[in-house]
Amino acid sequence: MISPSTLPQQDPIHITVVYEGDAYELDTYEGEYRNLMMLIFDSLYTEEFGECKGMGRCGSCLVEILSSGQTLDPMERNEESTIKKMTAPRKDIRLACQLLINSSLKDIKIKILREYQ
């Protein structure tokens, strides 16, 4: 049996999410959630957020990156084409389901975009 003290320590990943004018401070760690969409869906119970459950096709998890101290993982073609269907492509608009929970999200501040849905 592994005791909690023998488990590797992970730095928390702090994320600020702006949703309908309110800012929510969320803490997670690598591996707790598959991606940013799952963290937001589970923490904020946002309606109609993440409808395709992370397939990168519905665009319901569109977010704007307000600030980020890290370089985010690059966009895959699937993500780019879904965003193009919804809005003019900008490098600060991403699909939350395509952003994996890892150190690149540390101290990121994002806004959930509802106006494109």
Residues at the contact surface with ligand FES, assessed by CB under 6 A: 37, 50-52, 54-61, 82, 95, 97
- Of 116, 101, 117, give the one whose Cα is nearest residue 37: 101
Tokens representing 89 are 């492509």
In angstroms, the CA 75 to CA 81 distance is 10
Kindly state the smallest distance separating residue 2's Cβ from ligand FES, in Å: 34
Q: Which is nearer to ligand FES, 15 or 59 (CB)?
A: 59
Kindly state the smallest distance separating residue 25's Cβ from ligand FES, in Å: 22
Give the SS3 label for residue 52: coil
Q: Are 76 and 99 within 8 A, CB to CB?
A: no
Kindly state the smallest distance separating residue 9's Cβ from ligand FES, in Å: 31
Q: Which is nearer to ligand FES, 78 or 103 (CB)?
A: 78
